[in-house]
Amino acid sequence: MAIASAGFQQKRFTEAESLFRIVLDKQQRAFGDNDPLTLNTLNELAVMYYNQQRYADALPLNRRSLQALRQQLGDDAPRTLGSLHNLATTLDRLGHVDEAERVYRQAMDGKRRVLGRAHTDTVRTEISFFGMYQRLRRYPEAESIALEIHRAHIEAHGADDRRIPAGVERLVALYKEAGRPKDAAEWQAKLPKEPPAAR
């Protein structure tokens, strides 16, 4: 497995894919489809395909991984929710908007319930979901998610947390893109003022 991962890191994708396939076949025959080692290899191969923008190749692996994790760990296990996120992002990249939206929603709602609204994994899914809506110019849905991220972060970490400006900047960019300059200016004013340049 280490050899396959090394090949992946070095972008020797053809060699890495061949090694992943060999290892996956051996693990499936030795341990079964639902063994943690098998699922880990399956997920790493899916990640490699995704990073190569081979989303159609990643998709069936994402589906297999999610099905196995649901059977093994249940719907609310963090690994299952992470697998839902991976499936949603692949569907998103393939343009399967309706299914991606449904799976993003399942992953986001599950992570909010199990991990909490301000957990980094929850926010990761929310930002991906937000990004899909923004690319589709579905600005009201994108705004709703961005505001929820912002409010949850303030509730969990306080208004002075150093990560708050990133959420504000996300909203400023969204409002500018949506043709709402007054809202953009209002949120821009919430950003920390930069110190004057030294003379």
How do residues 106-157 score in pLDDT, each as one tens digit?
999 999 999 999 899 999 999 999 999 999 999 999 999 999 999 999 999 8
The count of residues in the chain is: 199
User: What fold characterizes domain 59-188?
Assistant: 1.25.40
Quick count: other Cβ atoms within 10 Å of Cβ 197?
5
The pTM for the full model equals 0.83
As a whole number, mean pLDDT of residues 150-177 equals: 93
What are the backbone dihedrals phi and psi of residue 166, each rounded to the nearest 5 degrees, phi first? Answer: -60, -40
In tens, the pLDDT along 36-78 reads: 767 777 788 888 889 889 999 999 999 999 998 998 899 999 9
Indicate the domain borders of the chain: 1-52, 59-188
